[in-house]
């Protein structure tokens, strides 16, 4: 599915649709400040939802005899709520136990940020990130914590912008050996 997307066509269609949205609002859609807004919004949406594009970076890995686990703390991301298309920025704490290969450190950040850039519920995003990482990298185990504040509830509805939601999941050895999960929580400052 992902490879069939044509982002140039999508941007053209979004530009057309946002032009129509501006005509519905009680403003002058033809005034100087709004004339290029549909095109700018379409380009912004292409960036916001880049996670639908095929991954365009190499998941470079290296042979290793390392038996511990690798932790990346506070990886920033911005996803969008699938119910309101409002952003929910946050941070990801992630760890994995390598098999016989270790992943380049920057690739973990790129991976998480890339796939977060879609329409999600936070719960589904958390499960997808860990499962897709395990599918591609094949680690012995993985653990993830996602913490985010949702603007859909922060600036509308209950209007509480600073109440974070935390989701977590573990796979492989982290699931089989609770002491590894505990150590992960301690290393990322959750215990």
Kindly state the DSSP code that residue 140 receives in the 8-state scheme.
S
Q: How many helices (H) and strands (E) does the chain have?
A: 8, 7
> In the chain, where does DSSP find H-type helix?
7-24, 32-35, 37-48, 105-116, 122-137, 151-154, 173-176, 178-187
Specify the length of the chain in residues: 191
What are the structure tokens assigned to 160, written together?
Answer: 């509480």
Kindly state the DSSP code that residue 55 receives in the 8-state scheme.
P
Check: CB of residue 79 under 8 Å from CB of residue 118: yes
Write down the pTM of the prediction: 0.89
Q: Are strands 101-103 and 119-120 parallel, antiparallel or unpaired?
A: unpaired
Check: CB of residue 121 under 8 Å from CB of residue 81: yes
* Each residue's pLDDT expressed in tens, for the chain with a length of 191 residues: 445 567 788 899 999 999 999 999 999 999 999 999 999 999 999 899 999 888 766 677 888 888 899 999 999 999 999 999 999 999 999 999 999 888 889 999 999 999 999 999 999 999 999 999 999 899 999 999 999 998 888 777 777 778 899 999 999 999 999 999 999 999 999 87
Distance of CA 83 to the CA centre of its chain: 16
Distance of CA 158 to the CA centre of its chain: 24
Check: CB of residue 150 under 8 Å from CB of residue 105: no
């Amino acid at each position: 599915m992902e490879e069939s997307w044509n982002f140039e066509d999508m941007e053209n269609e979004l530009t057309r649709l946002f032009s129509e949205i501006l005509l519905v609002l009680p403003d002058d859609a033809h005034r100087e400040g709004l004339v290029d807004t549909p095109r700018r919004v379409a380009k912004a949406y292409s960036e916001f939802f880049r996670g639908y594009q095929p991954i365009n970076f190499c998941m470079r890995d290296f042979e290793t005899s390392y038996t511990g686990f690798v932790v990346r703390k506070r990886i920033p991301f911005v996803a969008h709520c699938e119910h309101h298309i409002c952003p929910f920025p946050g941070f990801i704490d992630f760890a994995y136990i390598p098999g016989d290969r270790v992943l380049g450190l920057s690739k973990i950040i790129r991976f998480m940020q890339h796939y977060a850039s879609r329409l999600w519920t936070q719960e589904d995003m958390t499960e997808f990130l860990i499962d897709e990482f395990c599918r591609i990298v094949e680690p012995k185990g993985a653990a993830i914590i996602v913490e985010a504040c949702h603007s859909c509830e922060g600036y509308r509805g209950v209007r509480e912008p600073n109440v974070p939601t935390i989701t977590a999941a573990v796979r492989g050895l982290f699931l089989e050996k609770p002491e590894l999960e505990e150590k992960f929580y301690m290393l990322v400052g959750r215990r």
